[in-house]
Amino acid sequence: MDAPPEETPQPETAPLDDASPRLQSRRDFLKTVATASAAGIAGVASAQTPVKAVPVKATPPPVKAVPVKPPAGATPKPSAPPKPSPTPRPTPVPASTVVTGATEFRLKLNGAERTLKLEPRTTLLDALRETCGLTGTKKGCDHGACGACTVHLDGKRVLSCLTLAIAAQGREVTTIEGLARSEDLHPMQQAFIDCDGFQCGFCTPGQIMSAVACLKEGHAKGDDATIREWMSGNLCRCGAYPNIVDAIKLAAKGGRA
């Protein structure tokens, strides 16, 4: 039989203890790292520049003015009065832009020529009442909403409170005073009397002037609704509308009640 192979002897390992060179080197390394870290932190801290505190100066209290008393027996000098500011002079207006005021113009009123001198802003209503003395044309709302100021301009009804008097120059203006011929009333005026087409009478001149124009325009031959539509611009606060419609229908027929 073959003999078993011989075992190779292993070297003996020395036990590790605190005195071994491996553990001693590791401890020295850790001590070296700790010492270097502490030195670095100390260097950074010493490299920083310290901030100097700037002292804040206190604001000194305001100095009070001490009045100086004049010596005894001295006469105080009076203070000089303030000089007045110069008054600005108005700028002269060129002669070409000066408004002259009233303007003279001619008006054909109820068949007669009238020469008026009025401001351009004067309405036809004010010219008739205040200048010409024709107060039959009434001033109601003065905004063109009631129809009490209705007159005829070249045969067509207009609101005189919304018409400038200077715009009517050279045109035929007819008022309630110009309808009658001498002692004879206009057929529409007589129809209003016969049908009792008024009560207080304030709106009657404007109602009659509109009714005459309505008849000339050909709107009075229709039914009551048509007449009311074409007379809707004239208000009657007394509510005499049914009698007004009857008066227009009667005048359209050319008869009396």
Residue extents of the structural domains in the chain: 103-178, 187-253
- At 198 the pLDDT is 93
3-state secondary structure 31-87: HHHHHHHHHHHHHHHHHCCCCCCCCCCCCCCCCCCCCCCCCCCCCCCCCCCCCCCCC
Domains 103-178 and 187-253 share a fold: no
What does CATH list as the number for 103-178? Answer: 3.10.20.30
Please, are residues 213 and 157 in contact by the beta-carbon 8 Å criterion?
yes
123: nearest Cα among 95, 86, 71, 159: 159
pLDDT in tens, 159-215: 999 999 999 999 999 999 999 988 899 999 999 999 999 999 999 999 999 999 999
pLDDT beyond 80 at 144: yes
Residue at token pair 């529409």:
188
- 150 SS3 class: strand
Fold classification of 187-253 is DNA polymerase; domain 1 (1.10.150)
pLDDT in tens, 231-253: 999 999 999 999 999 999 999 98
